[in-house]
Structure 1
Amino acid sequence: MITRIITGIIGIVLAAFVIQTGGTVFAGFALVLALLAWFEYVRAFSERGMGLTFGTGLAGITLLWYAGRYGNAELMMAVSTLIVLVILLESVLRHSVTSIMDAVTSIAGIFYFGFPFAYMVMLRDMQPGMMISTPLGAVPFGAALIWIMFVGTWASDTFAYFTGSALGRHKLCPSISPNKTVEGFLGSVVGTTASAAGLGVFFSLPVKELAVLGLAISILATLGDLVESVAKRYTGIKDSGNIIPGHGGIWDRFDSVLFTAPLVYYFVKIVGLTM
């Protein structure tokens, strides 16, 4: 537990530095995390004897990140098409080592990790000249969005855990994640909605819209966690890795964020969060 707490504190400090710095530092960290998560994904499915396209995946995720870094939606579409075609072609040219199931699972994993981390970069770079006043000083608009995404996701996990531990009686998805309860999920919904509304006050952003976003984050964060649980149950692994002492792997720590990052991005694009 001590190791987990110390690692958590170090992680928060590092995250704060990276988020506030933005630019190349934030984008670079996003790429590294995406590639590490992909490595864990490939290793997990190797436990089932699958040979995923590791090298092509590294290249594909990097290209998706590059497209996101420069906000080029057309390039992102072109890269996505290229990834699908190249990997399916691998299943033909290298059919002795890459089956069609290996290829399909590879494509899913590249998009699963590549898109969300690209969206994080695009979120941080959104309206770069816009500053938001807070009780602690001015914050770049993009940094505020990243904090909303992360704090909302962390709040979802935290409220679900403590509410479920105290009041949990009814299993949410016992065949996938035996420890999750309906009561924990409802606690996540209420707590995340309230936390997001509080962030609206802190960042001087529309409180009602942030509350709605918080509600959506609680649902998507739970689904993101369950998706990794399905994958881990299928591959037979307990943790995706041990790179973060006491917390497992990158995939373990970002499973919910993989779903909430695109959510926050499109919420801001469609609904808007400026006063």
Structure 2
Amino acid sequence: MAIRVVTGIVGIALAAFIIQTGGVVYSAAVLLLMLIGWHEYAKAFSSFGKPLAYFSGMLAMLSFWACAWKGNADEFMALSTFWILWTLLQAVFFHRSFSVEQACYSVAGIVYLGFSFSHLILLRFFDTGEMMSTPVGNMDAGCAWLWIALIGTWASDSFAYFAGCTMGHVKLCEAISPKKTVEGLIGGVVGTMASVAALGYALSLPIVYMAVLGFFIALVATVGDLVESAMKRYTGIKDSGNIIPGHGGVWDRFDSVLFVVPFVYYFVQVFTFLNR
């Protein structure tokens, strides 16, 4: 537990530095997370006896990152189409050693990890043309919304954990994640709504909008956690890696974020449109 706490504190401090610095430092950090996440995903299926299109996936991550960094939707669509079709075609060209099943697992991982991690770039550099006033000084809108997404995810995880430990009895999805409870989910929803609403107040954003966002963040974060749990259970692994002491791998740590950040990104699009 001590290692987990220390790693968590160091991780939060490092994340704060990288997020606030932005620019190339932030983008390079996201690329590293994408590549490690894909490596862990591919390793999980390889241990299951289903080696994936590893190098195609690595190149796909790199190309998605570049498109998100440059903000080019047309190139993103073109490269996404290419890598998906090329991965499927490998089941034809290399059919003796690479099955359709392996191709489908590969495509699923490329879309799941590549698209989701790319939204960490898209959200951080989302530009509304104005700065947001925060208790720690002015901050560009994309940076503020990224913090809302991350803090909301952490709040969901923390409140769900404590509510589940103290009051949890009814299993939420025992076949996939035996420790998750309905009471934990409710605690996570209530805690996240309060946390995100408080952030909204601090940032002078409509509290009702933010409470609604908190409600959905808690649900989406839980779904993201369950999706990774289902994949780990399917492949027979406990943790995706051990790169983060006490926390497992990158995929373990970002399972909820991979769902929450894209959701928040499109919530911001709607929110910005409604408030013009």
Do these two structures clear the TM 0.5 threshold for a shared fold by scoring above it? yes
Which amino acid is 2:246 matched to? G
How big is each residue's C-alpha offset from its partner over 1:52-87, in whole Å with a ceiling of 9 and x where there is no partner? 000000011111111111222222111111111111
Which amino acid is 2:72 matched to? N
Does the 8 Å contact 1:160/1:188 carry over to 2? yes
Name the residue aligned to 1:230: 230
Q: CA deviation at 1:196?
A: 0.6
Could you tell me how far apart the structure 2 residues matched to 1:223 and 1:197 are? 21
Name the residue aligned to 2:113: 113
Could you tell me how far apart the structure 2 residues matched to 1:135 and 1:46 are? 47
Could you tell me how far apart the structure 2 residues matched to 1:174 and 1:75 are? 42
Does the 8 Å contact 1:87/1:103 carry over to 2? yes
- Which segments of 5 or more consecutive residues in structure 2 lack a partner in the other structure? none
Does the 8 Å contact 1:206/1:274 carry over to 2? no
Q: CA deviation at 1:130?
A: 2.6
Name the residue aligned to 2:46: 46
Could you tell me how far apart the structure 2 residues matched to 1:236 and 1:257 are? 23
SS in 2 for 1:247: coil
Could you tell me how far apart the structure 2 residues matched to 1:216 and 1:76 are? 27
SS in 1 for 2:26: helix
Matched, 1:72 2:72: yes
Instruction: State percent identity of aligned pairs.
Output: 53
Q: CA deviation at 1:162?
A: 0.2
How big is each residue's C-alpha offset from its partner over 1:252-274, in whole Å with a ceiling of 9 and x where there is no partner? 00000010011000000112286
Could you tell me how far apart the structure 2 residues matched to 1:16 and 1:191 are? 22
Does the 8 Å contact 1:57/1:106 carry over to 2? yes
Name the residue aligned to 2:260: 260
Could you tell me how far apart the structure 1 residues matched to 2:37 and 2:263 are? 20
Which amino acid is 1:90 matched to? Q
Change (3 A) 1:46 1:95: same
Which amino acid is 2:207 matched to? V
Does the 8 Å contact 1:205/1:274 carry over to 2? no
Structure 1 window deviating more from structure 2 (159-168 vs 93-102): it is 93-102
Name the residue aligned to 1:166: 166
SS in 2 for 1:132: strand
Name the residue aligned to 1:141: 141
How big is each residue's C-alpha offset from its partner over 1:78-107, in whole Å with a ceiling of 9 and x where there is no partner? 111111111111111111221111111001
TM-score normalised over the length of structure 2: 0.97
Could you tell me how far apart the structure 2 residues matched to 1:12 and 1:206 are? 27
TM-score normalised over the length of structure 1: 0.97
Structure 1 window deviating more from structure 2 (244-253 vs 114-123): it is 114-123
How many residues end up aligned between the 2 structures?
275
RMSD (CA atoms): 1.3
Runs of 4+ in 1 over 4 A off after TM superposition: none
Could you tell me how far apart the structure 2 residues matched to 1:75 and 1:83 are? 12
1:22-101 aligned within 5 A = 22-101=22-101
